[in-house]
Structure formats: C-alpha cells, structure tokens
Chains A and B, each alone.
Chain A
C-alpha cells in the first residue's frame, strides 16, 4: 500500500477493547466470587479458598448435572444433524421452485420463536391430560404417556423441541448448500442407475462435509444454551433427570438457596470445560477442513 493505512487500528481497537472488557471482567469476577462464601441476602462475605470446589466434587447433583449436560449435547447435536440431512435431501429430491421456497420459509418458523415460547408450546402439547399429542395415544392405548415426567422420556422430549427448532433450520441451510453443488455428478449417477440414497451417501454429502462439520460445530455451541427450554418445561425434573449444569447453577444461585459463590464455582468449571473442549474441537475442525 502506498500510504500508511490506519483503518484496521481505528476499526478494530474500540470493539476489541469493549469485547475484552465485557468478557474478561465477568470471567475474573466469577473466579473471585467462587473463592468466597457469598450468599444472596446475607452480609459478611469471606474468602474460603477452594471449599466450594471441594464441595462440588462430593455433590451428587453436580455429577448428575455434568452427565445430563453431556447427554443433552449428544442427543441434540446428533438429532439436529440427522433431521437436517433428511429434510435437505427430501426437499431437494421432491420439490422445485416456488413450492420449495414456500416450504423453506415454513421450516424456518420454529427457530425464530423465542425459546421460552417454543418450550411452552410443546409443554402444552405434551400435557398428559390436555395435550394434543397424548390425545391419539390415550385413545389407542387407554393411558397417556407422561412425556415430561417419565424418567426415560423427559430429556428426549425436551430435546425434541431443540431439534424441532434447529434441525429444520439447518435442513434449509443444507438444502441451499446442495443447490450450489455442480449438477454433473447427479446426472451421471442417474444414468448409471445409482440408487438415490447411494448418490447422497457417497457423493453429495461427502462433497458438503466441510460445511456440515461447521454446522455441527455451531450446533454444539448452541446446544450449550439449553436453559430456557428446561426452565420452562421441566425445571430439571422429574427429580434431577433433566437438570443440566446451567439449570443446577441457576437453581443453587437463585431458586433453592441464594448461594452465589457455589453457583459461581460451577460456572467457572463449566467455563473451563467449554473453552478447552471447543478450542480443541475448533482447531481440529480447522485442520481437517484445510486438508
């Protein structure tokens, strides 16, 4: 460049400083608070070292919450991606033009609904006595399924809402990606009388593997935000079967007791776990995509 260009400095400094302040101040504060015994409505906060962390390791609800959070990640990420692939292939194969555009619009609706409202919509449909999902089940079997209070069904039922929102949305994105693929392999395959599913399994999906992996990564990050759904639908119940880490931290800090410091210690561990895991996954994805 001919002249000294200060644009990057001017454009980047204010936002980066703002982001750094907004991100690091709470992070450091969380760390400090986690070494205290701060409680809502109680004065006389003291530093108590690692006590909160030590308590966490003998807290069965914390161990349970970690497990539930991992299960949640697995169910929602896999469910979303499977539904997305199904929807994309289905729309690509069976629709054209305006119909496709209209269906795409309809399939985006769920992801735009605020999570609290999406959660309520489904909670109401799952209701064993009034819910419309249980109406046919009741008619056929005589007894409703208690989706949200069954030990086996609760977490999956909440996950359905998450997959409903993201799976359909990602399906539309994948469809748009399919549309960008060159036509030749498809036509060649048709001439060779290759079965449709083989065409997608061996040709189309591998061609899209890079964006699919990016989408999976995005979904893994998004799945960390399960709180709204669980808060409205189950509150972590039945028992603690759907109690994820954020739900438990919230519960300890605000609902059952006001143990801000204990909740903070949980938040710090969560923060460490997610930052480390996602950094590793991200670097791995990057490397994989660059090959």
Chain B
C-alpha cells in the first residue's frame, strides 16, 4: 500500500514532533544552560551558540553540601530499597500465590498507604523523632522511606508473581520442592525481571522524594533533592548556570535507570 500524503497524515506528524519537542526540549535546554556563563544566560534573546564552560559543574561538585547530599541519598535510599525488597518481595509472593482469608484486606491496606498525604506522616514523625533524639539522622529518614519502598514494592510485585504460570510452580512441587524452594528457585527467577522494575520504581520514588526529607532533616541527613532545591532557590545574584548544572547532576542517577524502566515496561506488556 503506497503512503499518501494527506492533510491528516501531515497534521499527525506535526503533532508528533510537537509532543517530542515538549518532552525533550526542557531537558536539553537545561543541559545547554548548564554549560553557559551567566552573561550568556541573562540575555533577552536566547543563545544557542556560546563558548561552553565547565565552571558550573566544578562549582557544584566542589560544594561540600553536594558531597554530603550524595552520600546521604546513597545510604538512605539504598537501605530503604534494600529493606523494601527483602521484606516486600516475599510478602508479595505470599499475597499473590496463596488464597488467604485476609488477603484482600492486606492488599488494600498496602495500597491505602499510598493515599497517606506525606505531610500527615512527616509532621508527627518529626515530633516523634525529635523526642527520640533521632531527628535529622539517616535512621529516621530510612525508617520513613521504608514505608514508601515496602508498600510500593509489595503493590507492584503482586501482579508480577500473579503472572508466573501456576503450572511451573506445580511441577516444582511435584519434584518434591518445599514451598520456600518453590519461591526461591522457580517463582523468583521467572518473575525476576518484572520485580526488578518494581524495585527500580521504588528507588526512583524515594530518590526523588522531597517533602518528607525537607521536614525530617536540617543539616546532617540532608538528601540530594534538598540540597538541589537549596541551590535552585538561592536568592541573591542568582547563579543561573550553577542552578542548571545542579539540576543536571541530580537528574543523572534516575536517568541511568531510564533504560531499565523502559525495559521493564516492554516486558510487563509483552504477552
């Protein structure tokens, strides 16, 4: 069938281009700005051609607060995701595979945790952690984030296990494997790729989390989004180039997972 160029065909292509520009341009523009001197940013006519500088990135990486934020984010997010995975994946398996009296209620309980407004969690927790002397420590943020990672991983991992064909588990059972071995040796490897996506999703969720960290930390346990927001909101003589660079630095880790996540989506929706 030969393609005919019609008005409809042209419009749809044009809209497609617009959508892609809408998606990508803001990020590219920020990337471009992060290599500019302030004079090249503060111009009435936007500049696309300029002499690039690395000064903005050097400044960002030399700030002690960025180092602290990076270490804090790494530890806090790492531990919270680890706990979420170790406890959440088996729980999801149990919910997916076993007909339990309370199964539906537990599933709904886990889901309902997503409805909790973060501000409603953060204000009382701040008060509790202050009383316990845990305020502005990594432990307090890890505990709070575990609520997020654990509930998200269970919520996303249940469907992953439900998609594992029941008959291969049955075959394993007939081979004399006990229920734990069935989980470890059969269900886990089959559901593995989808589970990985669920874990990545929870990682991104807490890596980008802002409000709870804002309320539970002041100096020692500050995470990277807090540090970045401090950069981006610096008032006097706004160093625009530096702000753009800090945005890029903060965005790199989640973007690394882009490939992982798009792979996850492909797998989930493959028949």
Contact = CB atoms under 8 A, between A and B. Distances in A.
A285 B269 CA distance: 22
B232 A267 contact: no
Contacts of A253: 123, 215
Contacts of B247: 117, 120-121
B118 interface: yes
Contact of A93 (B12, B210, B266): B12
Contacts of A172: 262, 265
A73 interface: no
Interface in B218-263: 224-225, 228-229, 232-233, 240, 243-244, 247, 250-251, 254-255, 257-259, 261-262
Interface stretch (A49-57, A99-107, A150-158, A198-206): A99-107
A110 B23 contact: yes
Number of contact residues on B: which range applies? 35 or more
Interface string B1-33: 000000010001101100110111011011001
Contacts of B128: 25-26, 29
Contact of B243 (A110, A120, A168, A264): A120
Contacts, number: 259
A11 B250 contact: no
Contact of B215 (A18, A106, A250): A250
A74 interface: no
Contacts of A227: 118-119, 210-211
Contacts of B208: 113-116
Which of B23, B44, B94, B255 counts the most A-chain CB atoms under 10 A from its CB? B23
Given A90-B16, A227-B119, A246-B117, A7 B127 contact: no
A196 B42 CA distance: 46
A125 interface: yes
Q: Interface majority SS on A: helix, strand, loop or mixed?
A: helix
B194 interface: no
Interface stretch (B50-58, B60-68, B143-151): B143-151
A73 B254 CA distance: 26
B236 to A, nearest CB: 16
B210 A271 contact: no
Nearest to B111: A282
B36 to A, nearest CB: 11
Given A7-B183, A90-B19, A114-B228, A232 B233 contact: yes
Contacts of B233: 232
Contacts of A121: 26-27, 29-30, 247
A90 B14 CA distance: 10
Q: Interface majority SS on B: helix, strand, loop or mixed?
A: helix
A5 B178 CA distance: 9
A180 B269 contact: yes
Given A15-B91, A112-B255, A274 B115 contact: yes
Given A19-B151, A38-B127, A114-B207, A224 B117 contact: yes
B120 A8 contact: no
B251 A114 contact: yes
Contacts of A117: 225, 228, 232, 247, 250-251
Contacts of B27: 109-110, 113, 121
Contact of B120 (A12, A27, A122, A164): A27
A22 interface: yes
A66 interface: no
Given A11-B90, A116-B225, A224 B115 contact: yes
The 8 A-B residue pairs with the shortest CB-CB distance in the complex, in nearest-first order: A29-B124, A176-B269, A267-B120, A11-B90, A15-B87, A114-B208, A11-B94, A30-B124
17 contacts: A7-B179, A12-B106, A26-B120, A26-B121, A90-B12, A103-B16, A109-B255, A112-B251, A114-B225, A117-B232, A124-B33, A172-B265, A227-B118, A231-B211, A260-B123, A267-B117, A268-B120
Given A19-B151, A279-B115, 19 more contacts: A7-B183, A11-B93, A15-B88, A29-B125, A107-B19, A110-B23, A113-B27, A115-B225, A121-B27, A135-B45, A168-B23, A173-B269, A179-B269, A180-B269, A231-B210, A231-B214, A250-B211, A250-B214, A267-B120
Interface of B: 8, 12-13, 15-16, 19-20, 22-24, 26-27, 29-30, 33, 41-46, 87-88, 90-91, 93-95, 98, 100, 106, 108-121, 123-128, 143-144, 146-147, 150-151, 154, 179-180, 183, 204, 207-208, 210-211, 214-215, 224-225, 228-229, 232-233, 240, 243-244, 247, 250-251, 254-255, 257-259, 261-262, 265-266, 268-269, 271
